Amino acid sequence: MINGKTKVFGLFGNPVEHTISPYIHELLYEETGYDGTYNPFHVREGKLSDAVRGVRGLNLKGVNVTVPYKVDVMEFLDQVDEMAKGIGAVNTIVPIHLDDKTDYILKGYNTDWLGLSMACDYEGIPIEGKDIVLIGAGGSARAVAFMCAKRQAASLVILNRTLEKAQEIKSILESSFERMTDLGQIPIMVGGLDELDLVKKGAVVFQTTSLGMHPRVDRTPLDEDDFFHKVDFIVDIIYNPKETIFMKKGKDHGAKVANGLGMLFFQAVKAFELWTNITLDDDQLKRVFGKLEKFVYEK
């Protein structure tokens, strides 16, 4: 039941009709007994600054930001978290009161890397001390790269069709090592999708491209047996379908695999925590995630 005390949250994006984020957050409200409502806001091109001003004007308690605004939104915020600055994208806006006055600042965070980190722990995917292979060089790949440095991976290999984009992530991450002292200064190598000699035995692989996503489920970025023989763990950030060709190929070669639903879920959990200061325990997380899986894959 929505009333005058209900806290209002939302999502800025273009488009937003496809999002399942409202369902995730409503599950979190139900689990914790929190009086909130989460609404998708279709922010049309050229209206992002107006939308951010609306956060203040409407006293919204928090907002997520999705494509195509994760980069552009930063210029309209008062502060941006250091990890979000490094990654170059904000997906969560948090109103922060600096004192007892009613005014507040808007601070931007990136919970994609936090959500992925939590999802890896939940799925039993190791990061610390592991050789990581990153396929793709888009916005999600940046979040993965910073997460791996934050969690002290042993090394990072970025494989991408366009070497310039892979090199850009390498340069951005390396330039952040001195400024962000909590990042591990891990060695980074880049190569094309055919440079499989860069992949070390026992690697943990993150597939961040859209290849294999519904409806074009017959696509995969790599199909070589020589690659999958080296891989122990695979995380594909696609969650529709539940198992991509890339994941199936890895599983057939003995790798432990996970899709992207965990990342989507836990980035929402971290945003909820930032907005409400409420932390769910392991039993609650398992219960809510189970409901989400049923909603996504059994509907």
Query: Omega before 95 cis (within 30°)?
Result: no
Rounded Cα–Cα distance for residues 291 and 44 (Å): 32
Residues with active-site annotation: 70
Rounded to whole angstroms, the Cα distance separating 36 from 38 reads 7
Please tell me the distance from the alpha carbon of residue 36 to that of residue 16, in angstroms, as a whole number. Answer: 19
Radius of gyration over every alpha carbon of the chain, rounded to an integer in angstroms = 19
H or E element in which residue 227 lies: helix 225-228
Tokens of 26: 């409503």
Helix, strand, coil share of the chain (percent; to 5) = 40, 20, 40
Instruction: Report DSSP letters for 60-93, one per residue.
Output: -SEEEE-TT-TTGGGGGSSEE-HHHHHHT---EE
